């Protein structure tokens, strides 16, 4: 892929994607990121060697792909000025949104209409090539544009298409926000290990490697994660006691409640920010 890609917004998620893209071999000279904050532009230029600009309109003028990577609450004020630039172009760029709670029809309206838009929900492990992205394509997206979007996000992790746009909120609840759940769990495991007497560094390394190992093992296995859990639980052994504690305290219901709250928030954001 040798598309010129402009990221509108150069924050956490955008830099995770273009950082991962560059690590996968994509040329930094094909990437531009914009931000109103000069310090942020200096930082990403130094770290990644990409082009930077504080002018969204000129950065969007000749891009093949425009990635909308600003917060949902400012999406409207960022998109509306872009409409004039995009409407003038003979060849329309592919628009990729990564914003939570921003619907394709609303983005299209703000951008002046009739755009090919892929709405995605990536996650920050994209930075290390281990991202997970859910994607939905609007009717205007051509097969070639669909392939280009898949190639872009596929360079930084796995990609799963959903056929119904509302499912993007479910993707947000599982993988968009999901890294934070695992970071919480890893922090809690590390703290508990320290409380049991381990040095913090040792507890951290053991917790992280265990998380990595469990995920890698599950990906390589033909068994369900439920079965893999049972395989660790020797009868009357230590794991059985730990899992019984999680089950007594309703961990599964806690996870369901948290993910329901996450998806609900994504829906609320659609009306709160007019998205």
Ligand X SMILES: NC(=O)C1=CN([C@@H]2O[C@H](COP(=O)(O)OP(=O)(O)OC[C@H]3O[C@@H](n4cnc5c(N)ncnc54)[C@H](OP(=O)(O)O)[C@@H]3O)[C@@H](O)[C@H]2O)C=CC1
Ligand Y SMILES: O=C(O)[C@@H]1CCC=N1
Q: What mask of x and - would describe binding to ligand X in positions 79 to 118, judged by CB under 6 A?
A: -------------------xxx------------------
Binding-site string for ligand X from residue 163 to residue 182, where x marks contact by CB under 6 A and - marks none: -------------x------
* Backbone Cα Rg of the chain: 21
Residue 71 binds ligand X (CB under 6 A): yes
Output phi, psi for 121, to 5 deg.
-135, 95
CB of 89 to ligand Y, least distance (A): 29
| Subset of 225-264 contacting ligand X (CB under 6 A) | none
Token pair in block for residue 124: 């920050």
For ligand X, which residue of 32, 123, 138, 145 counts as binding (CB under 6 A)? 123
Q: Does 126 bind ligand Y (CB under 6 A)?
A: no
Helices (H), the chain: 12-23, 38-48, 56-61, 75-88, 104-110, 143-154, 167-171, 178-195, 200-220, 225-232, 238-248, 251-272
The residues near 225 (Cβ < 8 Å, ≥ 6 apart) are 218
Q: Identify which range of 29-37, 111-119, 161-169, 212-220 contacts ligand X by CB under 6 A.
A: 29-37
Of 56 and 133, CB closest to ligand Y: 133
Min separation Cβ 46 and ligand Y, Å: 25
Tokens describing residue 223? 């068994």
Gap between the Cα atoms of 171 and 168, Å rounded: 5
121 binds ligand X (CB under 6 A): yes
Q: Which residue in the block uniquely carries the two structure tokens 């619907």?
A: 103
Which residues sit at the interface with ligand X, rule CB under 6 A? 8-14, 34-37, 40, 56, 69-72, 74, 78, 98-100, 121-124, 176
């Amino acid at each position: 892929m040798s598309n010129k890609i402009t990221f509108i917004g150069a924050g956490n998620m955008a830099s995770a994607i273009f950082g991962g893209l560059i690590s996968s071999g994509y040329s930094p000279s094909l990437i531009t990121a914009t931000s109103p904050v000069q310090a942020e532009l200096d930082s990403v230029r130094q770290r990644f060697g990409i082009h930077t600009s504080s002018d969204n309109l000129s950065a969007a003028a000749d891009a093949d792909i425009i990635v909308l990577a600003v917060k949902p609450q400012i999406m409207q004020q960022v998109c509306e000025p872009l409409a004039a630039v995009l409407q003038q172009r003979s060849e329309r760029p592919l628009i990729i949104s990564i914003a939570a709670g921003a619907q394709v029809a609303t983005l299209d309206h703000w951008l002046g209409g009739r755009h090919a838009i892929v709405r995605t929900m990536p996650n920050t492990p994209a930075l290390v090539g281990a991202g997970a992205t859910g994607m939905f394509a609007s009717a205007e997206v051509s097969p070639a544009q669909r392939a280009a979007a898949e190639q872009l996000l596929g360079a930084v992790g796995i990609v799963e298409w959903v056929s119904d746009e509302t499912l993007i909120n479910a993707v947000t609840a599982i993988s968009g926000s999901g890294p934070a759940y695992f970071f919480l769990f890893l922090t809690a495991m590390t703290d508990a290990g320290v409380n049991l007497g381990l040095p913090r560094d040792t507890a951290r390394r053991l917790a992280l490697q265990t998380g990595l190992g469990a995920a890698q093992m599950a990906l390589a296995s033909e068994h369900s994660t439920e079965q893999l859990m049972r395989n660790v639980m020797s009868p009357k052994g230590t794991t059985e006691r730990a899992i019984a504690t999680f089950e007594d305290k309703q961990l599964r219901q806690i996870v369901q409640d948290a993910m329901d709250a996450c998806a609900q928030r994504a829906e609320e954001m659609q009306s709160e920010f007019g998205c």
